[in-house]
């Protein structure tokens, strides 16, 4: 049988094979078989949802045991090297090198974590692998140690690489300052810049090189600013005829070609007309709302990452779109206020695209209790997780104890989109109406 990619032939039980199995567990299967595996997993999720809804006293159960019809998985236009963002860790490799740049194999619980180079991993593009190799070369030359455990000292930490179809490449290097003074930090930043602009790293042709001093596992720009060492402050992507500006920490769908297919389908499912108001919750850089702005009278976007909102506003202005407004803040703080005073007579359609943590309960409650919202599209990359709780809250009978007074929604259609070939994940779009 032909594999998904003939280029990946790995020695049995090698570290490379173990990494491929961990990161891209379906890499051995032909692509059509991968889609079938994902279809079956989505079926099980909808069966679980039907059972849970039945327990809550709804009539969502359909003859085939699903809560609503499930369409076939929509394939990704690109199968290999589709990721536009990769995060590489720095840790001890299988050969003992403490400055290995790659991806983790093993678990903290088992205390068997090693970092394996990702040169063979199917879903990572060659440009990301090239930047990772150059970063490893740089830190191996550096007298400073890698920061494997915060309390053990060390400095060099993870690398994020972002690329676009316009040919732009952004690298973001995270560094633990420990006890270094400003002069020593300035020296490291200068060496890093020199390596990637004049040294061996110049081969990467970086559009942007960022540096972030971080004493935590993850830091937002507000907690610890991204420092631009070289190049342009943003990279740019083109999607559905629009141009989008991307900041270091802004959310953008990881599969750009797949996102185009997804957003086109979302536009059709919204059934938006010229007088519709589109509510884009967890809007990131505004990609969904802006791509649908020409179909609706107004777009209202809500997003917690301030830099992403700045990008969204820039994107709207640059593309000549004037019917969008964006609100920065946590959805659970912004949305209840926004909807509590909603008196607009125009039809209101909501699109939500939260992280794996799902929507905060207050967001679900605000949607339920806003009678103007009759149609809701929920885009989830992990529908079996916290999103399932949201689905049940949206569809359960009114519950005064939970302040869920509004009429319940019903799931009417589910469409999976394969945004992550070679992995077990896909993006599920669930259409709810009431």
CA distance linking residue 274 with residue 399, whole number of Å: 35
> CB–CB of 204/230 below 8 Å?
no
Query: Would you say 312 and 291 are in contact if contact means Cβ atoms under 8 Å apart?
Result: no
Task: Name the burial class of residue 110, with classes exposed (0-12), middle (13-18) and buried (19+) by CB atoms within 10 angstroms of its CB.
Answer: exposed
Exactly one of 8, 282, 324, 381 is catalytic; which is it? 381
Vertex 313, ends 274 and 345: CA angle to 5°?
30
Q: Give the strand pairing for 298-303 and 324-328.
A: parallel
- Which residues does 19 contact at the CB level (< 8 Å), separation at least 6? 102, 103, 105, 116, 118, 120, 121
DSSP string, 290-319: HHHGGGSSEEEEEES-HHHHHHHHHHHHHT
Active site residue 67: no
Q: How would you class 207 by CB atoms within 10 Å of its CB: exposed for 0-12, middle for 13-18, buried for 19 or more?
A: buried
How far from chain centre, in Å, is Cα 49? 24
d(CA 414, CA 417): 10
Residue 303 counted as an annotated binding residue: yes
CA distance linking residue 177 with residue 124, whole number of Å: 29
Cα of 57 vs its chain's centroid, Å? 34
Q: What share of the chain is helix, strand, coil (3-state, %, to 5)?
A: 35, 25, 45
| 61 annotated among ligand-binding-site residues | no
Is 353 annotated as a binding-site member? yes
| Residues placed in the known binding site | 253, 303, 353
User: Which sequence positions are flagged as catalytic?
Assistant: 381
| Residues placed in the known binding site for S-adenosyl-L-methionine | 253, 303, 353
């Amino acid at each position: 049988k032909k594999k998904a990619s003939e280029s990946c032939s790995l020695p049995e039980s090698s570290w490379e094979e173990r990494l491929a199995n961990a990161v891209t567990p379906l890499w051995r299967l032909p692509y059509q078989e991968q889609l079938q595996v994902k279809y079956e997993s989505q079926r099980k999720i909808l069966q679980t949802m039907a059972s849970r809804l039945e327990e809550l006293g709804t009539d969502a159960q359909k003859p085939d045991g699903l809560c609503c019809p499930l369409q076939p998985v929509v394939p990704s236009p690109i199968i290999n090297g589709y990721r536009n963002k990769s995060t590489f860790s720095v840790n001890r490799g299988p050969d003992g090198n403490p400055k290995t740049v790659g991806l983790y194999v093993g678990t903290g619980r088992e205390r068997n974590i090693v970092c394996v180079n990702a040169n063979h991993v199917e879903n990572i593009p060659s440009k990301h692998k090239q930047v990772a190799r150059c970063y490893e070369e740089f830190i191996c030359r550096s007298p400073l140690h890698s920061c494997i455990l915060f309390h053990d000292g060390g400095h060099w930490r993870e690398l994020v690489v972002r690329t676009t179809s316009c040919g732009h490449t952004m690298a973001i290097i995270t560094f633990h300052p420990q006890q270094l003074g400003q002069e020593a930090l300035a020296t490291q930043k200068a060496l890093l810049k020199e390596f990637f602009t004049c040294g061996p790293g110049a081969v990467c042709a970086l559009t942007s090189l960022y540096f972030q001093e971080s004493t935590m596992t993850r830091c937002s720009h507000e907690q610890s600013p991204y420092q631009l060492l070289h190049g342009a402050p943003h990279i740019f992507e083109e999607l559905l005829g629009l141009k989008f500006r991307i900041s270091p920490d802004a959310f953008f769908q990881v599969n750009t070609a797949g996102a185009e297919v997804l957003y086109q389908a979302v536009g059709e499912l919204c059934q938006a007309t010229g007088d519709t108001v589109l509510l884009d919750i967890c809007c990131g850089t505004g990609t969904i709302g802006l791509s649908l702005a020409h179909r609706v009278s107004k777009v209202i976007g809500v997003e917690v990452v301030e830099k992403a909102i700045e990008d969204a506003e820039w994107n709207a202005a640059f593309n000549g779109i004037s019917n969008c407004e964006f609100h920065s803040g946590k959805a659970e703080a912004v949305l209840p206020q926004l909807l509590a005073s909603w008196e607009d007579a125009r039809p209101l359609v909501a699109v939500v695209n939260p992280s794996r943590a799902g929507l905060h309960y207050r967001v679900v409650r605000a949607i339920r209790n806003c009678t103007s919202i009759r149609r809701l599209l929920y885009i989830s990359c992990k529908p079996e997780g916290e999103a399932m709780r949201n689905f049940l809250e949206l569809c359960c009978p009114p519950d005064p104890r939970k302040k869920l007074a509004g009429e319940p929604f019903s799931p009417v259609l589910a469409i999976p989109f394969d945004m992550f070939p070679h992995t077990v994940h896909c993006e599920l779009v669930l259409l709810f109406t009431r």
